Structure 1
Amino acid sequence: MTIYLDSLDQAVEHILGHVAGTLRMGAPLGIGKPHRLLNALYQRIEADRQRRWQLYTALSLDPPDAGSGLQGRFLKPFLQRQFGEDFPRLDYVQAMKRDALPANIEVEEFYMQSGALLNSRQTQRGYASLNYTHVAEALAQREVNIIVQKVAAQAGSDRLSLSSNNDLTQDTVQAVLDRGLPRPLMVAEIDPQLPWMGGSASVAADYFDLVITPPPPYPKLFGLPRQPIGDADYAIGLYASALVRDGGTLQIGIGALADALCHALVLRHTDNAAYRRVLAALDPQLEQHPVVRSHGGLDPFEHGLYGCSEMINEGFKRLVETGVIRRKVVDDEALMTRIATGTANLGDLARLDRDGEYLHGAFYLGSPDFYDWLRQLDESERRGIGMRRISEINQLYGGHETLERLQRRDARFFNSCMMATALGAAVSDALEDGRVVSGVGGQYNFVAMSHALPDARSALMFRAVREHAGKQQSNVRWNYGHTTIPRHLRDLYINEYGIADLLARNDEECVIAMAAITDARFQAPLLEQARQSLKLRSDFQAPAHWCDNTLQRLQEKLRPFRHDGSLPDYPLGSDFTPVEQRLAKALAWLKANTASTPSRIKTVLHALTARSQDHEAFERMQLQAPQSLGERIEARLLALALRQTTPAASP
């Protein structure tokens, strides 16, 4: 019998009274995590060292700290607006950041907010490296005895929606039962701000043993701030967009590279002439690239795409709104077979149109605008989006392989990595010393699936260069001390300098293909290392056009399209006001130009005589009347950065 409570304290009492001994708890990743309930539990168990709590979760979202100086002046008002004054930061995350978790509380995560816990000893020791599809079984092995989750409710309905997180809950319960263990105590916290999602995300209220409806006010959902898209990001997204086949299947990750890809796909569909002009400027030979000819295309989407991605995000919203994502599928193997063979009748097509779904995901995460879009979908649009278990999304082996193969035709799996080796391995989740930046998540799942589907391709996207300690470094490495995707699963790599097709290539061919998309400054040492390692013939000479692999040359190619609006700074919308957008660009320039001691000194000296007429920007930063020496220096630095990043600024 389901118990309904409206008090978090009463809920904590019920949980602690029901679970004897160690509390072995599973909690969803992202916004499905009930922050207030978890904080109430943390405070109670921290004070009672006789109780033990083992929490298994992922992606414990925490708003960034504002910091000090110019960054603090910019971020503090923005963070207050974006997250609200009452956003409940997770107590256990704050403790982990200080390595201050008490001995009776353990937290084990399989995916972390990128870079946020890189220096936490407790977090790094407690990280579990798991493919997303293996998490449910791992939780069963740990014998979880309680699962907590935020849910959505709907007026007049006796059902609840798993909403943002249909990824692991049902799979985990089944894995626990399959081991002959007692069903975990199921605890739901209703959040009126969570959008209702139906289909398999909808469960009977008695699926949960305890349903909590805390009193208002209800904190905002965690909103990911949308980031500006740079020239390198756009080039990567444009190259990637040419690999997508009309009528196919699309999976994308999260971040600026995925946003750039989505904008490029929208441009391809809604303004194909402009799209082709941008591609011609970027790479006049792109349409003749072998992999574009064999697996991609540049035309608008006559049939549309089917989205099948572990995460539904901002990019999918835009793709649905513009008609790029619209190819529907149904869970009927016979019907999908008739569609694939061209023997579907009018009745089949009518059923597909009526009952089909065009977007499947396991969890969602995005901006406040994205959540509003989900809330405001009309019923017919909402029926087109199916929230599924991760076992259904991230692999073919969840019990319906033939059906999923029919649905996922011409699949393109786009994910990001940090670095790639010249022989085809990818570095996506951790550093050379083993410290974890984020996690494997579903990346390996999708790479492996691309090899299991005959017409699929996996593309790993990365920026060609990174800055470390004030120095530029190539992200194409000869070797690295950690890899996420082994080189025997190599397929496509994309950065701002092009596409490297490594599928079924020998080692020398891989070296040449990766060198061709390496920044010009780093090509010679990479090729020399390959020769010394016996992977490249001694007389190989780099083609002359490889010298064009520079950021300056890329900026020259894309500059007209940045100015005419074809490639806007915020293609998916912005959480920043117009003045904040100007400030964000200026502060990014300032950060890049003060990364090393010499560049910092040079920038400060240039700032001494800098002036800016952007009074609105100085008012937003509360530097319109600087008083102290520090404020006057900040004002001059800001003036220089604004001057350098206005459209009229010289290169």
Structure 2
Amino acid sequence: MNTPRLFEDLESAVDFLLERIPGPLHVGAPLGLGKPHRLLNALYARVEQDASHPLTLYTALSLDPPPPGGAGLEGRFLAPFVARHFGEDFPRLAYVAAMRRDALPAHISIEEFYLQSGALLGSAQAQRRYASLNYTHVARALVDRGLNCIVQKVATNEDGTRLSLSSNTDLTFDAVDAVVARGLPRPLLIAEIDPRLPWLDGTAAVDASYFDAVIAPPPPYPQLFGLPRQPVGDAEYAIGFYASALVRDGGTLQIGIGALADALCHALALRHTDNAAYRRVLAALDPELESHPAVRASGGLAPFAQGLYGCSEMLNEGFKRLVEAGVIRRKVVDKAALMRRINDGDASDLDRELVERDGEFLHGAFYLGSPDFYAWLRTLDDDTRRGIGMKRVGEVNELYGLDEGLEQLQRRDGRFFNTCMMATALGAAVSDGLEDGRVVSGVGGQYNFVAMAHALPDGRSALLLRAARDSGGKAASNLRWNYGHVTIPRHLRDLYITEYGIADVRGKVDEDCVIAMAGIADARFQQRLLDEAKRSKKLRGDFAAPQSWTGNTPQRLHEVLAPLRAEGILPDYPLGSDFTEVEQRLVKALAWLKDRTATTAGKLGTIAAALLHGRSGDVEALRRMELEVPRTLGERIEARLLALALRRTGQ
């Protein structure tokens, strides 16, 4: 059995790594939370000054907090929040800072297959070295690149004999096995213990001997990277509630992250815990929704008698809410015959007892969320902890490769909800990049889940998107006739959901797909979409938009949801907030200001209104922004702008 080398300081660990790998370094690091920032910074600092150790780092989602500085009102808001939420001592990744400036030295290369959304659009080094890979293909690519080291953050048990990969079981096991299967030497494995990282057992836990070296650096321990929870607006709520009606009791759930996923999880929890309120929201959005063909065929509106099984590459805040609400509770076991009997309704009392005892109700390949989410994971009761299993990405994100028959039985009525930026009228999705080739984020597991939905006999894939967006102070449609980049091709089209409804385009001919997609577009852009379809011979010339489509407007959506918001059924932060009450008011006000000042005319008009109305009002908010007693002309203008925005967005 391997006895790992133990280190208490990072520099000695770097010495060990460089001694064991004297040539080029091909280092893999997990995405997101499992990345050992301090070790990577120590390695980068050493190698940066020594070209004899060329380094290529293979990773994804290199999380970096917002810059602490910044001018204007946004900077005033962010600086105290960033310091509190991420901690003054958060170890920012040195290689990310260098990439932002295109300042990586020639002998250091960073390859990422998923970028922090929008953060590196301006970096030539990041864009040139982006690797467009499905999540499940990354391990194979790492073998091709000569991976010879993996560094990972881990949790530990009390005596240090066991380590938990905790947040990132996604690629380490798959990558190691793929290297060994190719007949190559096993990569050097180095673990950095983080006492703040929650312990998760089961397949996430290994003997310490699995690693070649274990680093236990002394305190203080920086905070884990926490994703700030964002407010949920009218469009997000409408999308989430429409999506929730497509989930079948006793089925399987996969979701992404962000305000759309938060809205969906709030809707599913409300469907189970307060069904009357849930139905009131749906009736406000669409009184005929229950008779929608897709809802009748694939979903339902009733509470969850059987519960759902969660199987998602990423576990997040939404799953916490659904577990606590009793929605996620259907257990699965790795026994095909037993799962078949359970699904067929032929299970014996003993079968059900075995599933209850040994089953798990939530599987993921990595997790990421807020500090509250991490605290929840650290303090799980034993039964809940046993119900959560962290798995390889190759097990969670696809059916083939392990036991396809078993996974089909476990993932019955699979519903896979992911977001995209834009969609075409012919059913293609734009999720990760721009038409000029620049990458916003990455494919990640989206293609995996879309393909899985088509492979499962009762699976459905739903892509969620806002019907319109603000572009330079003007509204623009996210339902396009065509776009110069595609993430999900049109032949995999299934369900699309905007704030204006559900388009079921699976298997549809092109004309029917165009009509369905135009029906969930913003009314301001529908005719243009239809005209383009007619010019392209995809829509009959005499087709006219039905009168009901004219209601697809932000104004109408706000009117129907406003009473429900006033009652508290649709809170701004359905899964909790990382902002104080004052900051929540400021978030609304700053968003209002950003919208009103996006154009020169809008900026001038807003400034004029602010100067006219003065700066009296929310003293607490002005104090939080250090504008209670403005000292300069610029501060006086900022104070008046902020006071105006607070008044306009106040309850």
TM score, norm. by length of structure 1: 0.99
Which of 50, 53, 76 is the matching residue for 1:51? 53
Query: 1:612–1:643: 8 Å Cα contact kept in structure 2?
Result: no
Name the structure 2 match of 1:14.
16
> Following the alignment from structure 2 to structure 1, what is the Cα–Cα distance between the partners of residues 428 and 344?
37
Q: Does 1:312 align with 2:312?
A: no
> Following the alignment from structure 1 to structure 2, what is the Cα–Cα distance between the partners of residues 563 and 607?
27
Q: Note the alpha carbon deviations across 1:380-402, whole angstroms, 9 max, x for none.
A: 11000000000000000122111
> Following the alignment from structure 1 to structure 2, what is the Cα–Cα distance between the partners of residues 248 and 470?
42
The offset of 1:612, in angstroms, is 3.6
> Following the alignment from structure 1 to structure 2, what is the Cα–Cα distance between the partners of residues 331 and 20?
43
Which of 64, 67, 74 is the matching residue for 1:65? 67
Q: Note the alpha carbon deviations across 1:28-73, whole angstroms, 9 max, x for none.
A: 0001000000000000000112210000000000001142111111
Correspondence list, 1:25-424, <5 A: 25-66=27-68, 67-156=70-159, 158-424=161-427
> Following the alignment from structure 2 to structure 1, what is the Cα–Cα distance between the partners of residues 464 and 492?
15
User: Which amino acid in the other structure matches residue 25 of structure 1?
Assistant: V
Which of 623, 635, 639 is the matching residue for 2:639? 635
User: Which amino acid in the other structure matches residue 270 of structure 1?
Assistant: T
Correspondence list, 1:431-470, <5 A: 431-470=434-473
Query: 2:399–2:407: 8 Å Cα contact kept in structure 1?
Result: yes
Range 152-161 or range 130-139, more displaced: 152-161
Secondary structure of 1:347's aligned partner: helix
User: Which amino acid in the other structure matches residue 628 of structure 1?
Assistant: T
User: Which amino acid in the other structure matches residue 5 of structure 2?
Assistant: I
User: Which amino acid in the other structure matches residue 19 of structure 1?
Assistant: I
**What stretches of structure 1 move > 4 A for 4+ residues in a row?**
none
Name the structure 1 match of 2:430.
427
Q: Note the alpha carbon deviations across 1:534-574, whole angstroms, 9 max, x for none.
A: 00000001001111110000000100011100000000000
User: Which amino acid in the other structure matches residue 291 of structure 1?
Assistant: A
User: Which amino acid in the other structure matches residue 358 of structure 2?
Assistant: D
> Following the alignment from structure 1 to structure 2, what is the Cα–Cα distance between the partners of residues 14 and 294?
59
User: Which amino acid in the other structure matches residue 389 of structure 2?
Assistant: G
User: Which amino acid in the other structure matches residue 634 of structure 2?
Assistant: G
> Following the alignment from structure 1 to structure 2, what is the Cα–Cα distance between the partners of residues 465 and 344?
49
> Following the alignment from structure 2 to structure 1, what is the Cα–Cα distance between the partners of residues 474 and 342?
54
Q: Note the alpha carbon deviations across 1:197-228, whole angstroms, 9 max, x for none.
A: 11111111100000000111000000000000
> Following the alignment from structure 1 to structure 2, what is the Cα–Cα distance between the partners of residues 318 and 341?
29
> Following the alignment from structure 2 to structure 1, what is the Cα–Cα distance between the partners of residues 444 and 272?
30
Q: Note the alpha carbon deviations across 1:514-534, whole angstroms, 9 max, x for none.
A: 010111110111100000000
Secondary structure of 1:609's aligned partner: helix
Correspondence list, 1:458-607, <5 A: 458-607=461-610
Q: Does 1:646 align with 2:644?
A: no
Q: Does 1:624 align with 2:646?
A: no
User: Which amino acid in the other structure matches residue 616 of structure 1?
Assistant: E
Query: 2:160–2:208: 8 Å Cα contact kept in structure 1?
Result: no
> Following the alignment from structure 1 to structure 2, what is the Cα–Cα distance between the partners of residues 160 and 370?
21
User: Which amino acid in the other structure matches residue 24 of structure 2?
Assistant: T
TM score, norm. by length of structure 2: 0.99
Q: Note the alpha carbon deviations across 1:262-293, whole angstroms, 9 max, x for none.
A: 00001111100001011101111111100001
Q: Note the alpha carbon deviations across 1:65-123, whole angstroms, 9 max, x for none.
A: 14211111111111000010000000000000000000010000000100000110000
Query: 2:22–2:53: 8 Å Cα contact kept in structure 1?
Result: no
The offset of 1:157, in angstroms, is 5.5
Query: 1:232–1:463: 8 Å Cα contact kept in structure 2?
Result: yes
The offset of 1:167, in angstroms, is 0.2
User: Which amino acid in the other structure matches residue 560 of structure 1?
Assistant: P
> Following the alignment from structure 1 to structure 2, what is the Cα–Cα distance between the partners of residues 569 and 343?
45
> Following the alignment from structure 1 to structure 2, what is the Cα–Cα distance between the partners of residues 341 and 513?
35
The offset of 1:337, in angstroms, is 1.3
The offset of 1:378, in angstroms, is 1.4
> Following the alignment from structure 2 to structure 1, what is the Cα–Cα distance between the partners of residues 419 and 625?
34
Secondary structure of 1:608's aligned partner: helix
User: Which amino acid in the other structure matches residue 51 of structure 2?
Assistant: R
> Following the alignment from structure 2 to structure 1, what is the Cα–Cα distance between the partners of residues 522 and 598?
20
The offset of 1:156, in angstroms, is 3.4
Q: Note the alpha carbon deviations across 1:173-194, whole angstroms, 9 max, x for none.
A: 0000111110000000000000
Name the structure 1 match of 2:6.
4
Q: Note the alpha carbon deviations across 1:210-266, whole angstroms, 9 max, x for none.
A: 000011100000000000000000000000000000000000001100000000001
Secondary structure of 2:457's aligned partner: coil
Query: 1:612–1:642: 8 Å Cα contact kept in structure 2?
Result: no
Query: 1:4–1:211: 8 Å Cα contact kept in structure 2?
Result: yes
Q: Aligned residues, how many?
A: 647
> Following the alignment from structure 2 to structure 1, what is the Cα–Cα distance between the partners of residues 15 and 588?
50
User: Which amino acid in the other structure matches residue 37 of structure 1?
Assistant: L
Range 60-69 or range 244-253, more displaced: 60-69
Query: 1:63–1:83: 8 Å Cα contact kept in structure 2?
Result: yes
Secondary structure of 1:214's aligned partner: coil
User: Which amino acid in the other structure matches residue 619 of structure 1?
Assistant: R
> Following the alignment from structure 2 to structure 1, what is the Cα–Cα distance between the partners of residues 4 and 281?
58
Query: 2:250–2:304: 8 Å Cα contact kept in structure 1?
Result: yes
> Following the alignment from structure 1 to structure 2, what is the Cα–Cα distance between the partners of residues 469 and 103?
37
Q: What percent of counterpart residues are identical?
A: 70
> Following the alignment from structure 2 to structure 1, what is the Cα–Cα distance between the partners of residues 22 and 76?
48
Secondary structure of 2:612's aligned partner: coil
Secondary structure of 2:401's aligned partner: coil
